[in-house]
Each structure stands twice: as C-alpha cells, then as structure tokens.
Amino acid sequence: MSADRLCVEHVGFEYRSSPHGPGPPIRSPAADFSWDGGVSVLQAVLNGSRPADAHPALPVLARHLARDAREVAELGITSVHVHPRGPDTQETLDPLYVGDTVAAIRAQVPGMEIGVATGRWIQPDPRKRIEAVLAWGHLGVGKPDVCSVNVHEKGWVEVCNAARSVGIGVELGVWTSGDAVTLRTTGLPAGTVRVLAESTVSDPETAVAEGVRILRALGSLPVPVLLHGEEAGAWNVLEYAMQRSLDTRIGFEDVLVTPKGWLATGNDHLVKLALATRV
C-alpha cells in the first residue's frame, strides 16, 4: 500500500519557507544529494525500543499504539513506525503480536502507512528474522506495509528480499557514512520505499553534521531519504531536514522532550511541535 504523502497545505506549514523571510534557495552540501519530490513526509515513530516505564504516555500495547496513531492521523500524519510488543512489553517479531498491533492500528486509521522494526536486537538470528517477515506476509489486515531493515546488520539483504517476496516495502536504516558506502556498493534492494538517514549522535551540536555526512555518503538515490536524529539531537536534525524538504520523523522513539526540554505529554504533542517548527 502506498500511503498518501503528508500534504503541507493540510497542516498549514511550508517546509521551504523560512521564519526569517524569503531568501535565496538553500544550497547546503546536502541539497545536491537530497530527494526533491516536492511534498515531504513527516512520519510519527510512536514507541521504539523504549522500556514501558520510560514515559507514562508511552504506547506499548496494541490498543495504545492504535490510539496514538489515530491522534497523529488527525494532525495530518500518514505514516507511522512502531515496535510491536508481546504481553511482557518486550519488542517482538512474533507474527501473532505484530499482526495484532498492525490490525489494531489499521482498524483505527485504515489509510495509514504502517511500518514495523526488524532490528537485530529483537531477534539476533537473521534466519529467524527472515522467517518472521515471511510469516507477516500472511497476516491480512495485520500485515505491515513496510518494515525497517538496518544496513549494518548481518543478513540485511536477505531480510529485504523476504519482505519484498511477501509484498512488504522496506525502509533501509543507515546509521553511519560507512553504512551508506555499504549501501552504495551493494545497491538499493528492490522493494525499498525510502532510506532512513539516522544520525545517532545525541549531541545537539554535532547531530546535524553527522546527518549531513550520511547524506553526502548516500549520494543521489531513486527513493526518498528520511533524515532524523534522536534524543538531544532530534529537534536540530528535524529542523534541518524540514528546511531542506527532506522527509523526517518525530515521536517517542526518538525523543521524550520538547525543543525547550520539557517532557512531552504524548506523541501528538511532539507531532504538533514538529509541524509548528516551520510555521
């Protein structure tokens, strides 16, 4: 399923505008390499790997993820990324729980693009990751639209191939410029819907620079690039991405606090602040 892209007119902001008034076109080092499809996606990342007690409003159960997905959909979000959990609140690739989570979200927001994680930390054995992804293909309404696959993980190409074989798109996670080189060397697997340029540097002063390094190393790609940071680097990287009309993301997976350092009240709060960034 291809989700509608978040349309800037619907949410009243314009990525390309500047709070300082119109100026010359942005010519950053990254701009030459960025995807320029016109309309940018703001994805909501609802929980990530955070422990259940990381925040009182962190969605862990399927129904809570579905509630948050509906709330961000009402703000114009068309793509969510979640880490499904088992009854013990731990992350899982088990088709039973992945299917329950995706189906619960789909019931609340049928048009939403729903993505899930496949990280090595959830299932270290690549063969078991592949088995899980293949099983997701039979989940019907519980089948994810896309799954994220990290380029630095052993077996990543095979996991991508498994996803493609069952009609699940792939978001390729690129954490470093070295990963970007790996991707360029290997080539983009068929079925890739976007590349995630993930600045994992949490120092706000260097998080953007790290993101730019990854973008440069990725070079020109035939699919959109979604650039994001995390923790103290999240807001700086989001602002940078929005200024350059790159896709980006926000939510409790990446950050628990507002740009001013206050604890956010929920995923919808973070999304509202992200959308307000470029007003």
Report, in Å, the least distance between residue 230 CB and Zn ion: 10
Q: Does 212 bind Zn ion (CB under 5 A)?
A: no
Site string for Zn ion, 42-81 (x = CB under 5 A): ------x---------------------------------
User: By Cβ distance, which residue is nearest to Zn ion?
Assistant: 117
Residues with Cβ < 8 Å from 102, sequence gap 6 or more?
A: 84, 114, 116, 139, 141, 142, 143, 144
Query: Please, what sign has the CA dihedral across residues 248, 254, 257, 260?
Result: negative
* Residues pairing with 117 in the sheet: 148
Contact indicator for 53, 266 with CB cutoff of 8 Å: no
CB 58, min distance to Zn ion, A: 13
Task: State the nearest-atom distance from the C-beta of 101 to Zn ion, in Å.
Answer: 13
Q: Where are the alpha helices (DSSP H) in 111-232?
A: 126-136, 156-165, 177-186, 204-218
Q: Are 99 and 62 in contact (CB under 8 A)?
A: no
Least Cβ distance, residue 235 to Zn ion (angstroms): 18
# binding residues, Zn ion (CB under 5 A): 2
Distance, in Å, from the CA atom of 183 to the CA atom of 186, rounded to the nearest integer, reads 5
Given 69, 80, 109, 117, the residue binding Zn ion (CB under 5 A)? 117
- Minimum CB–partner distance for residue 103 and Zn ion (Å): 19
Q: Which stretch binds Zn ion (CB under 5 A): 111-119, 173-181, 192-200, 224-232?
A: 111-119
Using CB under 5 A, list all residues that contact Zn ion: 48, 117
